[in-house]
Structure 1
Amino acid sequence: MEGLFIRSVAAVALSAAIAARAYKRLSLDLSGAILGFLVMAIHIAAGYRFGALLLVFFFTSSKLTKIGQEKKRLLEEDFKEGGQRNWVQVLANSAIATVLVVVVSAMTRGHGMCLDTKKSDVVTALIGGIIGHYACCNGDTWSSEIGILSKAQPLLVTNFKIVRRGTNGAVTLDGLLAAAAAGFVVGLSYVVTALLTAECASDVAWRQLLVIPIATAAGLLGSLIDSFLGATLQFSGYCNVRKKVVSKRGPTVSRISGMSILDNNAVNAVSVLLTTVLTAFACLYIF
């Protein structure tokens, strides 16, 4: 309990500092900073390795968002200086994982536990789901932020036809490689912090290295699921007035692909949910 108390105090202090910095640097608006503080505090208090997953996603994604802003300003419909995210976007990228880390913390009473089905199938699946969650979030963001700057022509994931940059569901090789790299970084951050802070038997510790290829695959898979949903259930059209790809129909908009069923936040949430579930089952089988 003493370790949990110290971790909780550290969680509040660190989360407050990071949220304030993110707000100052326009990575989050006020609503996003407030919710981000709560989400970060919960993750870090539940376990340093969960906090590491969230922070790696947040910092790397925020950094990539700010690369090539002048080009993105011309291409992105909802471009915001600094990539400023609100509470809805924070929630879409953290809600499921936040619930899972709370459940894991309650089941383990705040003690670190490695992926090990011999000790607990449920906890192993939940931790695997958390890893898949952030591998997906990171993969989707890296893929989008790097893919839109790629010199290669983007292809619609459903039929591989060339489409305009910024079209929902469009992919490039650069973007797909970025998604896999993003998952790799998430897996590596988990392994390092888990081996330093979690309670692993010697014969189980080395198997945690398998998280790295699992997270790499989850980053790529999550990006592909997001792209497929974006190409089919999210509307994309070209506005002849704004000279941009937009996600809403209008008299000056020519349809490119997709239906007006999900918006971008909903697509993110569904892809995260599916990747979380698939990674949880993969960890049950592997560990």
Structure 2
Amino acid sequence: MDSSLSQWIQPLVAVTIGFLIAFRAHTKKSLSTSGALAGFFVMSLHFFVGFRFAAMIFAFFFTSSALTKKGQEMKKKIDPEYKQGGQRNWIQVLSNSGIASVLVVAIWVLTEGKDRCLDSKDSALITSLIGGVIGHYSCSNGDTWSSEIGVLSDDRPRLITTFKPVRKGTNGGVTKTGLLAAAAGGSVIGLSYVLLELLTIRCGSDRVAKQLLVIPVATMAGLGGSIIDSLLGATLQFSGFCSIRQKVVGKPGPTIKKISGLAILDNNAVNFVSILLTTILTSIACLYIF
């Protein structure tokens, strides 16, 4: 095949798949118009850089979208800002994928577009960056699974800072079911990464067992990221009960009784900060593990 032609195939395939997924998500109301545009960009970018990164963002997007649509009637009663199907906008898309997008571009530049194994012996920086992407999506997926599954459980949530029972929908409220879901969400990201790495990159038989360590690392990142998110939500994000709407809301007002938190960060900011911290911690951990 002509080299000038072959170099255009991967970008073309990446853009095509990114468009199809974003278009479908928009028609299914998983993404708003702005969210679909942002989703098209980040998904195309991940697929262009490498199948492993595409696998992680796809695993996060598809599983999270599916769980968002579970128990919609109950979620509608609890969440005052609930939207049918989720309909995430561009801010929500970038808060859950923006940092990883920067990291995969850095990986692409440093590797000159060539796939490297996670335990890249010739570059600790590449190992660190790949670990950061794994931590990023493990946190995003773990926190989403925790929220979407935890709110449907029969357990009454407890505020993570005081362990006192709180109403469903309170920022920083956790349940056993939600924490287990967070760990499961992280493990799915780790599994998707490992499967694609084993299928697409020759790392050597002596390093296969080591690659499997990604799964427990991702599991801990999913759980840890969800805990960080809950701590931020309980302290820096306002929660109050509105006597008129009979729901937990995120902004103070005359008819609202405070439950917890300061009105410093909103939900998108909490997601961004928790993902950033988990990305950094997982990146450092991978330097020692791999």
**Residue type at the aligned position of 2:268:** N
Task: Tell me what 1:213 maps to.
Answer: 216
1:123-181 residue CA offsets vs partner (Å, 9 max, x unmatched): 00000000000000000000000011110110000010000000000000000000000
Tell whether 2:255 aligns with 1:252.
yes
Distance 2:6 2:222 in 1: 32
What displacement does 1:14 show?
0.5
Aligned to 2:175: 172
Q: Which residue of 2 aligns with 1:51?
A: 54
Distance 1:86 1:92 in 2: 10
Deviation larger for 191-200 or 218-227: 191-200
Give distance in 2, aligned partners of 1:192 and 1:253: 49
Distance between the aligned counterparts of 1:25 and 1:61, measured in 2? 13
The alpha carbon displacement at 1:203 in A equals: 1.7
Give the superposition deviation at 1:206.
Answer: 2.4
**Which letter maps to 1:274?**
L
Q: Give 1:118 shift.
A: 1.7
2:33 to 9, 30, 33: 30
Equivalent residue, structure 2, for 1:195: 198
TM-score (norm 2): 0.97
The normalised TM-score by structure 1 is 0.98
- Name the SS of the counterpart of 1:183 in structure 2: helix
Contact 1:65 1:83 in 2 (8 A): yes
**Aligned counterpart for 1:120 among listed residues 112, 120, 123:** 123
1:39 counterpart residue number: 42
CA contact 1:31–1:87 (8 Å) conserved in 2: yes
> How many angstroms apart in 1 are the aligned matches of 2:202 and 2:277?
29
Q: Percent identity?
A: 60
Measured on the aligned residues, the alpha-carbon RMSD in Å equals 1.1
1:139 maps to what in 2?
A: 142
Counterpart of 1:97 (choices 96, 100, 108) is 100
| Aligned residue type for 2:93 | V
CA contact (8 A) 1:238 1:246 kept: yes
Letter in 2 for 1:53: M
Q: CA deviation at 1:72?
A: 0.3
Amino acid at match of 2:54: G
Cα distance in 2 for partners of 1:133, 1:3 equals 31
Aligned partner (choices 75, 81, 84) of residue 81 of structure 1: 84
Quick one: distance in 1 between partners of 2:39 and 2:283?
A: 25
Change (3 A) 1:115 1:237: same
Structure 1: distance between partners of 2:9 and 2:207: 27
1:267 is aligned to 270
* 3-state secondary structure, aligned to 2:240: strand
1:107 and 2:90 correspond? no
Which residue does 1:280 correspond to in 2? 283
| Gap runs ≥5 in structure 2 | none
How far apart are residue 8 of structure 1 and its match? Answer: 1.7
Displacement, 1:199?
Answer: 3.6
CA drift of 1:3 comes to 6.6
Deviation of 1:51 after TM superposition, in Å, equals: 0.5
Q: Secondary structure at the match of 2:257?
A: strand
Measure, in 1, the Cα distance between the counterparts of 2:185 and 2:209: 22
Structure 1's unaligned 5+ residue stretches are none
What code does the residue aligned with 1:111 have?
K
Distance 1:205 1:7 in 2: 27
Return the alpha-carbon distance in structure 1 between the equivalents of residues 68 and 7 of structure 2: 34
Alignment partner of 1:93: what SS? helix
Note closer, same or farther for the CA distance 1:115–1:243 as it changes in structure 2 (3 Å cut): same
Decide whether the 8 Å contact of 1:111 with 1:198 is kept in 2. no
2:23 is equivalent to residue 7 of structure 1: no
Moved over 3 A (4+): 1-5
1:184 alignment partner in structure 2: 187
The Cα of 1:79 is off from its aligned counterpart by 0.2
Counterpart Cα distance in 1 of 2:266 and 2:170: 13
